[in-house]
Amino acid sequence: MFRRHLLSLALGATLALGTGAAQAQDEFIVVQSTTSTQNSGLFDHILPMFQDETGIEVRVVAVGTGQAIKNAANGDGDVLFVHAKPAEEKFVAEGHGVSRADVMYNDFVIVGPPADPAGVAEMSDVVAALTKISDAEAPFASRGDDSGTNKAELRLWKEAGIDAQAASGGWYRETGSGMGATLNTGTAMDAYIMTDRATWIAYGNKGEYQIAVEGDPKMFNQYGIILVNPEKHESVKAEAGQAFIDWVLSDEGQAAIAGYKVDGQQLFFPNAGG
Protein backbone atom coordinates (compact mmCIF):
# COMPACT_ATOMS: atom_id res chain seq x y z
CA MET A 1 0.00 0.00 0.00
CA PHE A 2 2.80 2.38 0.97
CA ARG A 3 4.73 1.42 -2.20
CA ARG A 4 1.64 2.11 -4.31
CA HIS A 5 1.30 5.53 -2.65
CA LEU A 6 4.94 6.38 -3.48
CA LEU A 7 4.42 5.34 -7.09
CA SER A 8 1.34 7.53 -7.26
CA LEU A 9 3.25 10.53 -5.87
CA ALA A 10 6.11 9.93 -8.31
CA LEU A 11 3.70 9.73 -11.25
CA GLY A 12 2.00 12.94 -10.11
CA ALA A 13 5.31 14.75 -9.88
CA THR A 14 6.34 13.53 -13.34
CA LEU A 15 3.06 14.70 -14.86
CA ALA A 16 3.40 18.08 -13.15
CA LEU A 17 6.94 18.51 -14.50
CA GLY A 18 5.77 17.45 -17.94
CA THR A 19 2.94 19.95 -17.86
CA GLY A 20 5.29 22.74 -16.78
CA ALA A 21 7.72 21.91 -19.59
CA ALA A 22 4.89 21.83 -22.11
CA GLN A 23 3.65 25.21 -20.91
CA ALA A 24 7.15 26.65 -21.26
CA GLN A 25 7.40 25.26 -24.79
CA ASP A 26 3.94 26.63 -25.63
CA GLU A 27 4.62 30.18 -24.38
CA PHE A 28 3.99 32.69 -27.12
CA ILE A 29 3.05 36.29 -27.67
CA VAL A 30 1.11 37.97 -30.47
CA VAL A 31 2.69 40.97 -32.16
CA GLN A 32 0.45 43.22 -34.21
CA SER A 33 2.71 44.58 -36.92
CA THR A 34 2.88 46.05 -40.38
CA THR A 35 3.32 44.16 -43.64
CA SER A 36 6.73 45.72 -44.34
CA THR A 37 8.40 44.02 -41.39
CA GLN A 38 6.94 40.69 -42.55
CA ASN A 39 7.26 41.05 -46.35
CA SER A 40 10.85 42.26 -46.09
CA GLY A 41 11.87 39.08 -44.26
CA LEU A 42 13.02 40.93 -41.13
CA PHE A 43 10.93 38.86 -38.74
CA ASP A 44 12.10 35.61 -40.31
CA HIS A 45 15.62 36.80 -39.51
CA ILE A 46 15.28 38.09 -35.93
CA LEU A 47 12.46 36.11 -34.32
CA PRO A 48 14.28 32.74 -34.24
CA MET A 49 17.13 34.48 -32.37
CA PHE A 50 14.73 35.79 -29.73
CA GLN A 51 13.00 32.43 -29.37
CA ASP A 52 16.28 30.56 -29.05
CA GLU A 53 17.32 32.87 -26.22
CA THR A 54 14.04 33.08 -24.31
CA GLY A 55 11.89 30.12 -25.39
CA ILE A 56 9.11 32.57 -26.24
CA GLU A 57 7.51 32.18 -29.65
CA VAL A 58 6.40 35.33 -31.45
CA ARG A 59 3.31 35.04 -33.63
CA VAL A 60 2.99 38.00 -35.99
CA VAL A 61 -0.24 39.43 -37.35
CA ALA A 62 0.98 41.40 -40.38
CA VAL A 63 -1.58 43.97 -41.53
CA GLY A 64 -1.58 47.66 -42.34
CA THR A 65 -0.52 49.89 -39.46
CA GLY A 66 -4.03 51.34 -39.06
CA GLN A 67 -5.54 47.88 -38.72
CA ALA A 68 -2.74 46.73 -36.42
CA ILE A 69 -3.45 49.67 -34.10
CA LYS A 70 -7.18 48.87 -34.10
CA ASN A 71 -6.46 45.21 -33.33
CA ALA A 72 -4.13 46.13 -30.47
CA ALA A 73 -6.65 48.63 -29.08
CA ASN A 74 -9.16 45.77 -28.97
CA GLY A 75 -6.70 43.68 -26.94
CA ASP A 76 -5.97 41.31 -29.83
CA GLY A 77 -2.26 41.18 -29.21
CA ASP A 78 0.48 41.77 -26.67
CA VAL A 79 2.83 44.08 -28.56
CA LEU A 80 2.36 46.70 -31.28
CA PHE A 81 5.26 47.14 -33.76
CA VAL A 82 4.37 49.62 -36.52
CA HIS A 83 5.44 52.80 -38.36
CA ALA A 84 3.09 55.74 -37.94
CA LYS A 85 4.48 57.75 -35.01
CA PRO A 86 1.59 60.23 -34.54
CA ALA A 87 -0.92 57.36 -34.48
CA GLU A 88 1.32 55.39 -32.10
CA GLU A 89 1.58 58.34 -29.72
CA LYS A 90 -2.20 58.73 -29.81
CA PHE A 91 -2.54 55.00 -29.03
CA VAL A 92 -0.46 55.49 -25.86
CA ALA A 93 -2.14 58.78 -24.91
CA GLU A 94 -5.54 57.09 -25.04
CA GLY A 95 -4.31 54.43 -22.61
CA HIS A 96 -4.14 51.52 -25.03
CA GLY A 97 -0.35 51.21 -24.72
CA VAL A 98 2.10 51.48 -21.84
CA SER A 99 4.83 53.52 -23.57
CA ARG A 100 6.38 53.89 -27.01
CA ALA A 101 10.04 53.48 -28.05
CA ASP A 102 11.86 54.06 -31.34
CA VAL A 103 13.26 50.83 -32.80
CA MET A 104 14.61 51.44 -36.31
CA TYR A 105 14.12 53.43 -39.47
CA ASN A 106 14.52 53.38 -43.22
CA ASP A 107 12.82 55.48 -45.89
CA PHE A 108 10.09 55.52 -48.48
CA VAL A 109 10.75 55.64 -52.21
CA ILE A 110 8.60 56.05 -55.28
CA VAL A 111 9.24 53.43 -57.93
CA GLY A 112 8.15 53.79 -61.51
CA PRO A 113 7.99 52.19 -64.95
CA PRO A 114 10.88 52.54 -67.42
CA ALA A 115 8.79 54.85 -69.66
CA ASP A 116 8.54 57.38 -66.79
CA PRO A 117 5.45 59.15 -68.22
CA ALA A 118 5.53 61.92 -65.59
CA GLY A 119 9.25 62.62 -65.99
CA VAL A 120 10.12 62.19 -62.31
CA ALA A 121 13.12 59.88 -62.61
CA GLU A 122 16.03 60.83 -60.33
CA MET A 123 14.03 63.49 -58.50
CA SER A 124 14.65 64.02 -54.78
CA ASP A 125 11.82 66.50 -54.12
CA VAL A 126 8.86 64.22 -53.41
CA VAL A 127 6.23 67.00 -53.35
CA ALA A 128 7.37 68.27 -56.75
CA ALA A 129 7.39 64.71 -58.09
CA LEU A 130 3.84 64.03 -56.90
CA THR A 131 2.73 67.31 -58.49
CA LYS A 132 4.19 66.19 -61.83
CA ILE A 133 2.50 62.78 -61.54
CA SER A 134 -0.84 64.47 -60.85
CA ASP A 135 -0.42 67.00 -63.68
CA ALA A 136 0.39 64.19 -66.11
CA GLU A 137 -2.45 62.04 -64.71
CA ALA A 138 0.07 59.21 -64.81
CA PRO A 139 -1.14 55.98 -63.16
CA PHE A 140 -0.36 55.83 -59.44
CA ALA A 141 -1.11 52.75 -57.33
CA SER A 142 -1.85 53.47 -53.67
CA ARG A 143 -2.28 50.91 -50.92
CA GLY A 144 -5.42 52.73 -49.79
CA ASP A 145 -5.49 50.63 -46.62
CA ASP A 146 -4.72 53.09 -43.79
CA SER A 147 -1.28 51.53 -43.40
CA GLY A 148 1.76 53.48 -42.26
CA THR A 149 2.85 53.76 -45.89
CA ASN A 150 -0.61 54.93 -46.96
CA LYS A 151 -0.72 57.50 -44.14
CA ALA A 152 2.67 58.88 -45.21
CA GLU A 153 1.64 58.96 -48.86
CA LEU A 154 -1.59 60.86 -48.13
CA ARG A 155 0.34 63.32 -45.97
CA LEU A 156 2.64 64.04 -48.91
CA TRP A 157 -0.24 64.49 -51.36
CA LYS A 158 -1.79 66.94 -48.90
CA GLU A 159 1.50 68.83 -48.67
CA ALA A 160 1.48 69.06 -52.46
CA GLY A 161 -2.03 70.53 -52.28
CA ILE A 162 -3.50 67.63 -54.25
CA ASP A 163 -6.61 65.61 -53.40
CA ALA A 164 -5.45 62.43 -55.10
CA GLN A 165 -8.31 60.38 -53.63
CA ALA A 166 -10.76 62.53 -55.64
CA ALA A 167 -9.23 60.86 -58.72
CA SER A 168 -9.72 57.36 -57.29
CA GLY A 169 -10.69 54.96 -60.05
CA GLY A 170 -9.04 57.18 -62.66
CA TRP A 171 -5.29 57.71 -62.74
CA TYR A 172 -5.17 57.18 -58.95
CA ARG A 173 -5.84 53.54 -58.05
CA GLU A 174 -6.38 52.32 -54.49
CA THR A 175 -5.66 48.61 -54.10
CA GLY A 176 -6.76 48.16 -50.49
CA SER A 177 -3.92 45.66 -50.20
CA GLY A 178 -0.58 45.15 -48.50
CA MET A 179 2.69 46.42 -49.92
CA GLY A 180 3.66 43.28 -51.82
CA ALA A 181 0.24 42.95 -53.44
CA THR A 182 0.21 46.66 -54.31
CA LEU A 183 3.61 46.33 -55.96
CA ASN A 184 2.29 43.41 -58.00
CA THR A 185 -0.80 45.36 -59.05
CA GLY A 186 1.04 48.62 -59.69
CA THR A 187 3.81 47.14 -61.80
CA ALA A 188 1.22 45.27 -63.87
CA MET A 189 -0.50 48.57 -64.74
CA ASP A 190 2.74 50.55 -65.28
CA ALA A 191 1.89 52.78 -62.32
CA TYR A 192 4.07 54.73 -59.94
CA ILE A 193 4.06 53.26 -56.43
CA MET A 194 5.24 54.58 -53.08
CA THR A 195 6.81 51.80 -51.02
CA ASP A 196 9.10 51.41 -48.06
CA ARG A 197 12.61 50.70 -49.28
CA ALA A 198 12.92 47.41 -47.37
CA THR A 199 9.96 45.81 -49.14
CA TRP A 200 11.23 47.10 -52.48
CA ILE A 201 14.69 45.61 -51.95
CA ALA A 202 13.17 42.26 -50.98
CA TYR A 203 10.58 42.34 -53.78
CA GLY A 204 11.42 39.73 -56.39
CA ASN A 205 9.31 40.82 -59.37
CA LYS A 206 10.81 44.21 -60.22
CA GLY A 207 11.11 43.67 -63.96
CA GLU A 208 12.40 46.92 -65.46
CA TYR A 209 11.04 49.06 -62.64
CA GLN A 210 13.46 51.43 -60.93
CA ILE A 211 13.43 53.79 -57.98
CA ALA A 212 12.34 57.12 -59.44
CA VAL A 213 12.13 59.39 -56.39
CA GLU A 214 14.27 59.07 -53.26
CA GLY A 215 16.36 61.01 -50.78
CA ASP A 216 13.82 63.55 -49.52
CA PRO A 217 13.88 63.89 -45.69
CA LYS A 218 10.08 63.97 -45.88
CA MET A 219 10.23 60.27 -46.79
CA PHE A 220 11.85 59.25 -43.50
CA ASN A 221 10.20 56.12 -42.10
CA GLN A 222 10.41 55.52 -38.32
CA TYR A 223 9.26 52.32 -36.59
CA GLY A 224 8.14 52.11 -32.97
CA ILE A 225 7.23 49.41 -30.47
CA ILE A 226 4.62 49.47 -27.67
CA LEU A 227 3.41 47.04 -25.01
CA VAL A 228 -0.39 46.78 -25.09
CA ASN A 229 -1.75 48.00 -21.76
CA PRO A 230 -2.46 44.97 -19.50
CA GLU A 231 -4.58 47.18 -17.21
CA LYS A 232 -7.02 47.57 -20.08
CA HIS A 233 -6.85 43.99 -21.34
CA GLU A 234 -6.25 41.18 -18.82
CA SER A 235 -5.32 38.80 -21.64
CA VAL A 236 -2.13 40.71 -22.42
CA LYS A 237 1.00 38.68 -21.63
CA ALA A 238 2.81 41.65 -20.16
CA GLU A 239 5.93 39.86 -18.90
CA ALA A 240 6.62 37.98 -22.13
CA GLY A 241 5.66 40.97 -24.24
CA GLN A 242 8.01 43.24 -22.32
CA ALA A 243 10.77 40.63 -22.66
CA PHE A 244 10.41 40.88 -26.45
CA ILE A 245 10.45 44.68 -26.35
CA ASP A 246 13.52 44.70 -24.10
CA TRP A 247 15.32 42.31 -26.47
CA VAL A 248 14.45 44.34 -29.59
CA LEU A 249 15.79 47.49 -27.89
CA SER A 250 18.88 45.77 -26.49
CA ASP A 251 22.31 45.82 -28.13
CA GLU A 252 21.72 42.23 -29.25
CA GLY A 253 18.35 42.96 -30.82
CA GLN A 254 19.57 46.14 -32.48
CA ALA A 255 22.57 44.27 -33.90
CA ALA A 256 20.22 41.57 -35.25
CA ILE A 257 18.17 44.25 -37.05
CA ALA A 258 21.29 45.90 -38.46
CA GLY A 259 22.61 42.54 -39.60
CA TYR A 260 19.63 41.77 -41.81
CA LYS A 261 20.58 42.34 -45.45
CA VAL A 262 19.23 41.36 -48.86
CA ASP A 263 21.62 41.33 -51.82
CA GLY A 264 24.17 43.02 -49.59
CA GLN A 265 21.85 45.92 -48.75
CA GLN A 266 20.85 46.76 -45.18
CA LEU A 267 17.06 47.11 -44.96
CA PHE A 268 16.56 48.68 -41.51
CA PHE A 269 18.74 50.94 -39.39
CA PRO A 270 18.38 50.55 -35.61
CA ASN A 271 18.00 53.72 -33.54
CA ALA A 272 16.64 52.65 -30.15
CA GLY A 273 17.39 55.32 -27.60
CA GLY A 274 17.93 57.96 -30.28
List, in order of start, the domains of the chain with CATH numbers. Answer: 27-106+222-270 (3.40.190.10), 107-219 (3.40.190.10)
**Over the stretch 165-206, which tens digit does the pLDDT of each residue have?**
999 999 999 999 989 999 999 999 999 999 999 999 999 999
Are 93 and 69 a contacting pair, CB within 8 Å? no
Please state, as a whole number, how many other Cβ atoms lie within 10 Å of the Cβ of residue 158: 12
**Directed axis angle between helix 42-54 and helix 251-258, to 10°?**
150
Residue 274's pLDDT is what?
73
Asked whether residue 1 carries a pLDDT value surpassing 60, the answer given is no
Cα-based angle 44, 104, 72 (whole degrees, multiple of 5): 70
Amino acid at 129: A
- Asked whether the beta carbons of 218 and 5 are under 8 A apart, the reply is no
Strands 28-34, 57-63: pairing is parallel
Quick one: pLDDT band at residue 39, thresholds 50, 70, 90? confident
pLDDT of residue 19: 39
Dist CA 169 CA 167 (whole Å): 6
pTM of the model: 0.86
Q: Supply the pLDDT for residue 273.
A: 85
For the chain, the first-to-last Cα distance in angstroms comes to: 68
Q: Which of 102, 27, 35 is nearest to 68 (CA)?
A: 35
